[in-house]
Amino acid sequence: MTRLILATRNAGKITELKAILAEAGLPHDLVGAEAYPDVPDVKETGVTFAENALLKAHALAQATGHPAIADDSGLCVDVLGGAPGIFSARWSGTHGDDRANLDLLLAQLADIAPEYRSAHFACAAALALPDGTETVVEGRMPGILRHEPSGTNGFGYDPILQPNGETRTCAELSPAEKNAISHRGKAFRALVPAISELAG
C-alpha cells in the first residue's frame, strides 16, 4: 500500500480525499501533515493556486520521501477581476478570519446588481513525488454571490456563494451535496488517474 501525505492539518480535507480515493477503489494509506510534526508549514509565495499547491506538495514529498498531495483554493469574483483569488483567506488583512473576509467582500459589492455578481470557487490540486515528478489539476464551482450570508455549513465564503443550478448557498448544502459539485471535489477526482498510477 502506497503512503500518501496530504499537505494539510484540516481533518475535513483528509476525510474528503479518503472518500474520493475509496470511491475510485484506490488502496492508499492516506495521512495528513500532522503525522510529520517536524515538517514546517510552507509559505504560499506563489501567485496562482497551482503554484501554491505545487510548493506545498513538493516540500512535503521531499521532507517525507512519500508522494504528497496539496491544494490551494479561493473565491474569484468576476467584477473584481478575479479577486480575492489567492488572497481569499486573508482578504481583510488577517489570515483565516472568515467573518471579516466575508463582511469586507460584501461591503465592496454592496452596490453591485445581481446580474453582475457572478463568481466561482477555484481549486488547484497537486500531486508531487519525491523524484520531482508533478501533476496539477484544477476544479471550479461557478455561481452568484448573495447580498447576505445564509446557512451554517462549510466555512469561508460558503454562506454567500449560490452555485449555478442551486437555490441554496454552499453553506446550506449538506457536506455530501457540496462535495459532489465542489471545486475541491472536482480537482481531487481529477487527480485520481495520476494517483492510481502509484498503486501500479
Instruction: Enter the C-alpha cell of residue 74.
Output: 479561493
Cell of 62: 521531499
Residues with active-site annotation: 72
Instruction: Give all strands (DSSP E) within the chain, no chain letters.
Output: 2-6, 28-32, 68-77, 118-128, 134-145, 161-163
What is the per-residue burial (b if ≥16 Cβ within 10 Å, else e) of 16-40? Answer: bbeebbeebebebebebbeebeebe
Handedness of CA 9, 96, 48, 180 (dihedral sign): positive
